[in-house]
Amino acid sequence: MTATPVPQWLVEREAALLAPYAMQSADSAGRRHAESAHTYRGPYQRDRDRIIHSAAFRRLAHKMQVFTGDLGDYHRTRLTHTLEVASIARTLARALRLNEDLVEALALAHDLGHPPFGHAGEETLDECVAGYGGFNHNRHALRLVEELEIRYQEFPGLNLTREVLEGQGFRGEKECSVSARLLEIQIVDAADSIAYDSHDVDDALELELLELADLGGVTIWRDARRRVEKRWANLDDVRLRLAVVHELIDLQVSDVLLQAKSWVDALKSVEDVVNSPSRIGFSNDIEQQKAELEQFLFDAVYRHPKLLAMREKAQSALAEMFVAFVREPERLPSGFRNRLVSEGVERTVTDYIAGMTDRFAMQTHERGGCGGDQ
Ligand code: MG
């Protein structure tokens, strides 16, 4: 890693705006490949821009979060989910005076490594390459931003800062490096959870996989609904739903902030953050209520017959495509054919399939596993 000098205006701006426990751009561990400083953008702004301009980011528009395109066009895609996470994460970051540029880059990158068809696709690819190290979306995200994205002539990948790479690579895994404990990284995890717990209910109701009455036994929803009904009596079902979803997001964000404020002010440096036993998260009450909501969503929505049918279709398509490309790797696009020797056929085929959008994967499968440049 090579540290990049940071312009003086940014050092002054961050000194004035950020809390002592926030990550300062000047303290970044830098990038794998040396680069000179940019005149008017800091390192994390540059990371954000690199992510937004990447092919992997654009493809999030056609990758599913929970519901596929076949079900209509109201529900969240992987891209709009990502934007909601970025929005919530920035709210948390500003309230806690954290480094918003870093938080935004982390949030926009947080789902880059998902293959087509979300966790169903991930499971299938993991089985396909079980004998070759398996497949995991966090590890794949690192491969994307370090190797597979093409941006510079001198080196592969996006050459992101170590903080963004570690935030991405270690999310959800037990192993925890020093910078993976940054508050900026922790709040993106909380924002992700707030976003999906709220929008999955909204989408499921709009898609009529659920009815409002089904949520009567879910504490967090029932309490939020009560509060909404106290403020506005006689809302129709759609307005009621939207108001309760808004309330759900608001109460979770407020809960995270309240919890954080009880301990972060004692932290005087990033070192204190790293050594602190406390973590960003929800109160015990809200944590339990979210677990109850998630269990409900799992049983009633994620295992809904309509979604299970889609899941089965998607999984067999991906598995068949994997076999077809491993058998005839010469059908891979040239960029991937060039990686066959260094990466081996199974990993190369997995990289190619993981990069596909849901739509492109189904089209490729219908054409008999014969791909092209997406
Ligand atoms: Mg996410």
The stretch 304-310 carries a mean pLDDT of 92
Partnered with residue 161 across adjacent β-strands are 31
Measured in Å, residue 370 CA sits from the centre of ligand 1 at 30
Measured in Å, residue 345 CA sits from the centre of ligand 1 at 29
Measured in Å, residue 120 CA sits from the centre of ligand 1 at 15
pLDDT in tens, 81-130: 999 999 999 999 999 999 999 999 999 999 999 999 999 999 999 999 99
Measured in Å, residue 268 CA sits from the centre of ligand 1 at 30
Measured in Å, residue 81 CA sits from the centre of ligand 1 at 7
Measured in Å, residue 310 CA sits from the centre of ligand 1 at 20
Q: State the virtual CA torsion across 69, 71, 72, 75 in degrees, nearest 10.
A: -80
pLDDT in tens, 172-223: 454 445 566 899 999 999 999 999 999 999 999 999 999 999 999 999 999 9
pLDDT averaged over every residue in the chain: 93
Q: How many helices (H) and strands (E) does the chain have?
A: 18, 0
Asked if residues 223 and 205 have their Cβ atoms less than 8 Å apart, the reply is no
Q: What are the residues whose beta carbons fall under 8 Å from the beta carbon of 266, sequence distance 6 or more? A: 272
pLDDT in tens, 7-39: 999 999 999 999 999 999 999 999 999 998 899
Measured in Å, residue 194 CA sits from the centre of ligand 1 at 10
Cα–Cα distance between 238 and 226 in angstroms, integer?
16
Measured in Å, residue 46 CA sits from the centre of ligand 1 at 22
What count of Cα atoms within 13 Å lies in the side-chain half-sphere of residue 181? 17
Measured in Å, residue 272 CA sits from the centre of ligand 1 at 28
pLDDT in tens, 352-367: 999 999 999 999 999 8
Measured in Å, residue 21 CA sits from the centre of ligand 1 at 25
Q: Using 50, 70 and 90 to split pLDDT, how confident is the model at 170?
A: low
Q: What are the residues whose beta carbons fall under 8 Å from the beta carbon of 26, sequence distance 6 or more? A: 6, 10, 11, 14
In the chain, the percentage of residues whose pLDDT exceeds 90 is 87
pLDDT in tens, 42-67: 999 999 999 999 999 999 999 989 98
How many other C-beta atoms lie within 10 A of the C-beta of residue 320?
Answer: 13
- Phi, psi (rounded to 5 degrees) for 28: -60, 145
pLDDT in tens, 249-273: 999 999 999 999 999 999 999 999 9
Measured in Å, residue 186 CA sits from the centre of ligand 1 at 13
Measured in Å, residue 7 CA sits from the centre of ligand 1 at 32
Measured in Å, residue 11 CA sits from the centre of ligand 1 at 31
Q: Which residues surround ligand 1, an ion (CB under 5 A)?
A: 111, 192
Measured in Å, residue 134 CA sits from the centre of ligand 1 at 21
Asked if residues 158 and 50 have their Cβ atoms less than 8 Å apart, the reply is yes
C-alpha closest to that of 45 among 55, 34, 56, 37: 37
